[in-house]
Chains A and B, each alone.
Chain A
């Protein structure tokens, strides 16, 4: 389970996120939706400990990221927006490296890596170096890398960004499977149809604030709009009106 409690983070005078609170329960895909610059990545980085909040906290399975970063990182699988693979390492080596960094035993790493390669359809690419992969393939490798240690919580920052329709669909299917297996999944996106297609719950961020949250049906009800996209626009618009 992932939770944010009154998270606030500023960069100089810019408020990146402010009083952000929500819970992403196990077995559920929670979508973090918002336009570019709404504070999605800042919130997710607070979760990984790369960003230190000014106040409030990010929690992973009840543990505070600021106090126990190593414990929370071990319980978290992250697909960052910039996948950052090593050009000269093969796909399999990436996964093994990740397993080693999570201090998994040698035998566990090997069997888990083979299982993931199979599961994510990466077997044919296993021996290829990352420098020779397409963007979609890279993202799939990065996703596999985030799952090597079998984390109970998964965070995906713009997982389908730059992917073609087929690859994006593949990623969405995988996201669904992760939640169905009981994991807490948080997915950030600025693509409306993606969020409505895969998320059970939605948190709309606008200018660093939570503009709305709930199931898609609840959000529709709050906004009074007929479709989610209109709800999104009206919610963000009203938020802008407040400022």
Chain B
């Protein structure tokens, strides 16, 4: 009679053989590894463009026409390291043609009005539909407001009035959404990538070692061996899980490298994934990978061909994305009961790590137990499917 030990040996033999094939076939492995690079890569691009937006601004170049009329203003601009250029003959046309982002036109009456303390006219030309032009126009406007206040203050002082008398308050603006907020929005996609790794990592392998084996007819010879179905399922599960874990590990590692890039670090918020946090995420994801691969094995066993299995499984991929996107776009908030639901719970926990609020060990253990129990149920169902006659092609 077979002992438990022989079941383990059977499962180990199956797992070893599947992994050997995975390594030699390369298809499933390549797609899994490609994924590990792709997810964090997309995030890196998003963060980089954010970093460019929020980085220190380069000196402003401003085309000015008639700057000889406003020597004091040009002096003020020079003091604020604005590079002044003479404006072309038709600045409006140049802006429309997007050759020039902004231009400042000094009225011919400017010196007269200025000296007489009448409002002197300046015209700021820009194109609001052009991001660069808009942003530069805002900077010029800011500089002009500063200059106007400085001149106004001087005039008040000359007239014996304290400038503070005409300034009931001063507004100090601090945009708290800035880097932190925007980076957080991008980082909210990280849990989706990481969770997807658990689902995509073992998918190809799961399809190949079940439906693929059915298609090639090799499943029949495997089922002829005196190995309990449970051992076969466990062996295949272990193989798919190993590839899945590899994908998760790589995804986390590449994410960590991406967040360490100097350009992303330049965003003045502590975006980062410490090794302890990455390890915590790994611990949360490893059981999820067990569940994902178990369910994939089960689903793929219903398919008769590799392609059919791929199709079923790619529909199934959308599942983890649903809570992911809902969180990313803020339509749901974390609730305690979510911690107990496989997939949702993992999402809440991974997001918690990123917000610097790691889950408690108890919560992780609880979720792990529930996830594992679900996985075992899926595996039992898969083993049961292997008992069915229809698992091998109908006899001729």
Contacts and interface: CB of A to CB of B under 8 A. Distances in A.
Interface of A: 11, 16, 36-37, 39, 41-42, 45, 48, 50-52, 69-71, 73-74, 76, 78, 80-89, 93, 97-98, 100-103, 129, 142, 145
Contact of A50 (B13, B14, B216, B224): B224
B25 to A, nearest CB: 5
A165 to B, nearest CB: 24
B228 interface: yes
Contacts of B6: 103
A84 B219 contact: yes
Given A80-B224, A85-B218, A86-B218, A101 B13 contact: yes
A78 B213 CA distance: 18
Interface string B84-126: 0000000000000000000000000000000000000000000
B395 A71 contact: no
Given A84-B218, A88-B25, 18 more contacts: A16-B395, A48-B224, A50-B220, A50-B391, A50-B392, A51-B395, A70-B227, A70-B228, A73-B224, A73-B225, A74-B226, A84-B213, A88-B20, A100-B9, A101-B10, A101-B222, A102-B226, A103-B6
B54 to A, nearest CB: 50
Contacts of A52: 389
Contacts of A37: 396
Contacts, number: 90
Contacts of A85: 218
Task: State the majority secondary structure of interface residues on B.
Answer: helix
A242 B396 CA distance: 23
Given A52-B389, A103-B10, A98 B225 contact: yes
Contacts of A78: 221, 224
B205 to A, nearest CB: 13
B87 to A, nearest CB: 70
Nearest to A11: B394
A82 B389 contact: no
14 contacts: A11-B394, A45-B395, A52-B389, A71-B226, A80-B221, A84-B220, A85-B218, A86-B216, A88-B21, A89-B21, A100-B13, A101-B225, A103-B6, A103-B226
Pick the most buried of B14, B213, B223, B395: most chain A CB atoms within 10 A of its CB. B395
Nearest to B17: A97
Contact of B217 (A11, A71, A84): A84
A76 B226 CA distance: 9
A140 to B, nearest CB: 14
A45 B17 contact: no
Q: Which of B6, B21, B25, B389 has the most CB of A within 10 A?
A: B389
Nearest to B221: A84
B155 interface: no
B141 interface: no
B24 interface: yes
B223 A50 contact: yes
Contacts of B21: 86, 88-89
Give the residue among B6, B25, B218 with the most A Cβ atoms within 10 A.
B218
Which of B14, B217, B220, B224 has its CB near the most chain A CB atoms (within 10 A)?
Answer: B224
Given A89-B20, A89-B21, A103-B6, A41 B224 contact: no
Contacts of B396: 36-37, 41, 81
A103 B2 contact: yes
B393 interface: yes
Contacts of A88: 20-21, 24-25
A42 B389 CA distance: 11
A33 B2 CA distance: 36
Contact of B395 (A41, A74, A89): A41
Contacts of A73: 224-226
Given A16-B395, A103-B2, A145 B221 contact: yes
Nearest to B24: A88
Contacts of A41: 395-396
Nearest to A76: B224
Contacts of B217: 80, 82-84
A52 B217 CA distance: 19
A74 B17 CA distance: 20
B217 to A, nearest CB: 3
A54 B222 CA distance: 24
A44 to B, nearest CB: 8
* B2, B14, B222, B392, most chain A CB atoms within 10 A: B392
A162 to B, nearest CB: 13
A87 B26 CA distance: 13
Contacts of B218: 84-86
A84 B216 contact: yes
Interface string B194-236: 0000000000000000000100111111111111100000000
